[in-house]
Structure 1
Amino acid sequence: MNFFPKTDYTPIPAGTKAAFIGLGVMGSPMAAHLKAAGCEMTVYNRTTSKAKDWIETFGGKYASTPAEAAKDADIVFTCVGNDEDLRSVLLGENGAFAGMKKGAVLWDATTDSAEVAQEMYAKAKQLGLSFVDAPVSGGQAGAENGVLTVMCGGDEDVIERCTPIASAFACSVKRIGDSGSGQLAKMCNQICIAGILQGLSEAIAFGKTANLNMELVLEVIGKGAAGSWQMNGRGKSMIENQFNFGFAVDWMRKDLGIALSQARRSGASLPLTALVDQFYGDIQNMGGGRLDTSSLILRLNQKPKQ
């Protein structure tokens, strides 16, 4: 894991105690930024060796259960895999809710469903706790550099109070609306990314068939109306068939599945999203499930290198 501490952390209250549950490629640097910003940190990870390695590098303490990690914490962060993973670390006698003190905040950075966010929000309220659904955008590089964008759903006063702490790993923390709204906004984010990457993939593949210098083409059109973060950040590496940038196809399919399920419930039409989701399924079948999302172009040229 790379970690690049910032020189301008937002001041947080002295003695703030935080816990972080889930030290994956996103959670590990996010927790490191919290520690660098001045939080007293306790971490938990399902694989204990990762938690031990983290404290050897950054300091703090590790816990053997989510409940133990959450004990005495003012704010508990989670960044796990999906709805069931979130339930598993929050509920039950060893879950974080069981260890949290009254008035503490559970800040969930997982990308999961709006339904589970609302479920956990209601459960937290019953226990005298607060819950914020706060998925992030910016990928592994954004987590490592502490410049993630955070979309929040939950109580306005809670989000406002916790924003200086979450800003340790973010460049923007915004409340979208009530519980579940953060997750719905993240679905919009992933829908946009999927469509942009498919268009970018087709443009690069098309340009190659016409024997164009695609690096030059992207340099030119990237300054015009076609420009995007994906074009400027991933275009060159897509041309060079480099796909090791952290956010895997497997994760994108999980996220798109959440969006498509929500669309079926709400009556929204997502024809392009459904199509691109199938295309990502093709990449998985080619053995590219752990490649990053820009590997979508491989459907149009060659199979991924193993």
Structure 2
Amino acid sequence: MATVAFIGLGVMGYPMAGHLKTRGGHDVTVYNRTEAKAKKWAEQFEGKHAATPAETAKDKDFVFSCVGNDDDLRSVTIGENGAFATMKKGAIFIDNTTASAEVARELAVEAERRGFHFLDAPVSGGQAGAENGVLTVMVGGDEKVFECAQPVIEGYARAVGLMGPVGAGQLTKMVNQICIAGLVQGLAEGIHFGKKAGLDIEKVIEVISKGAAGSWQMENRYKTMNAGKYDFGFAVDWMRKDLGICLEEADRNGALLPVTALVDQFYKEVQKLGGNRWDTSSLLARLEK
């Protein structure tokens, strides 16, 4: 059992912290910007909550965060009452936020200066993956630090891999989002085309999902897409944030992402339809508007 802090109890962080307590058996203290949610978590999982990130992280072996973006991450780490102010020597900070590789490297340098360690560890698997404890975790950092943290991370994960030095986890997550963007657009166009051609989409997917066209998106999203239901899942706003990170990194490293840039604009159209919080599969909605 380790002493653990978890900062950020959104749709991902809330169940992830829960798994660290129930499955991992760790002593977990949580922080959330909305204190009522932290209190609710503490009551549900028989854990603890604290009033600030600094108080939450004090003297803990492992400190996790899962917040919104680079600015949020800086706020809960090096901002006023941030976690870095109270972390003990040799502790490990594990960031599950999908953020930039740049901020991961920045915080790793600051952590080293203060005598503890930093791992960037973005996740994939969505809300369902978090609730079921079967996330995929892509980690960047020192190998020995990773080996120490891996058994704890496995409390909410199905697969955990070290991708390289600090920042490599975030870069791998960018690859993940780039691939998903193209897949979802292709699936949306395929379903749209099938409907226009008068085909039975259920029968079509039943056949093609068993062949080369099959994907997680097809298996898990085609029914709701076909029914025009999008009020769940990974929000369009979040995907646009992630694709923005991908495109900014591509500007730095010289990668060409024409499809990603195009799909990002398609998601902008979905936002204009009022779909900010719709699932990413709502790309079909812009074709059927």
1-side partners of 2:79 and 2:283: how far apart? Answer: 40
Match of 2:165 among 166, 170, 178: 178
1-side partners of 2:202 and 2:116: how far apart? Answer: 52
**One-letter code aligned to 2:276:** G
1-side partners of 2:171 and 2:21: how far apart? Answer: 29
Match of 2:154 among 151, 167, 182: 167
**One-letter code aligned to 1:66:** P
Query: Residue 5 of structure 2 aligns with which residue?
Result: 19
- What SS does structure 2 have at the residue aligned with 1:73? coil
Query: Residue 210 of structure 2 aligns with which residue?
Result: 223
Query: Residue 59 of structure 2 aligns with which residue?
Result: 72
- What is the deviation of 1:245? 2.9
Is the Cα–Cα contact under 8 Å of residues 28 and 54 in structure 1 kept in the other structure? yes
Q: How does 1:286-305 map to 2 (within 5 A)?
A: 286-302=273-289
2-side partners of 1:144 and 1:113: how far apart? Answer: 25
Query: Residue 157 of structure 1 aligns with which residue?
Result: 144
Match of 1:283 among 260, 270, 288: 270
**One-letter code aligned to 2:90:** G
1-side partners of 2:64 and 2:276: how far apart? Answer: 27
Query: Residue 81 of structure 2 aligns with which residue?
Result: 94
Deviations 1:175-227 (A, max 9, x none): 00001000000000000000000000000000000111001101110000000
Query: Residue 29 of structure 2 aligns with which residue?
Result: 42
Number of aligned residue pairs: give it: 288
Match of 2:41 among 47, 54, 63: 54
1-side partners of 2:180 and 2:162: how far apart? Answer: 21
Is the Cα–Cα contact under 8 Å of residues 25 and 246 in structure 1 kept in the other structure? no
Give the TM-score of the pair, scaled to structure 2: 0.99
Query: Residue 255 of structure 2 aligns with which residue?
Result: 268
Greater than 6 Å deviation, 4+ residue runs: none
Query: Residue 116 of structure 1 aligns with which residue?
Result: 103
- What is the deviation of 1:93? 4.5
Q: In structure 1, list runs of 5 or more residues that go unmatched.
A: 1-13
1-side partners of 2:239 and 2:79: how far apart? Answer: 29
The answer to whether 1:239 aligns with 2:226 is: yes
Q: In structure 2, list runs of 5 or more residues that go unmatched.
A: none
2-side partners of 1:239 and 1:179: how far apart? Answer: 41
- What is the deviation of 1:100? 0.7
The answer to whether 1:213 aligns with 2:200 is: yes
- What SS does structure 2 have at the residue aligned with 1:92? coil
2-side partners of 1:22 and 1:298: how far apart? Answer: 31
- What is the deviation of 1:243? 1.2
1-side partners of 2:244 and 2:40: how far apart? Answer: 33
2-side partners of 1:55 and 1:246: how far apart? Answer: 25
2-side partners of 1:92 and 1:265: how far apart? Answer: 27
Query: Residue 143 of structure 1 aligns with which residue?
Result: 130
Query: Residue 16 of structure 2 aligns with which residue?
Result: 30
1-side partners of 2:80 and 2:183: how far apart? Answer: 44
Deviations 1:25-84 (A, max 9, x none): 000000000000201010000000110111111111110000000011100000000000
- What is the deviation of 1:268? 0.6
- What SS does structure 2 have at the residue aligned with 1:175? strand
- What SS does structure 1 have at the residue aligned with 2:229? coil
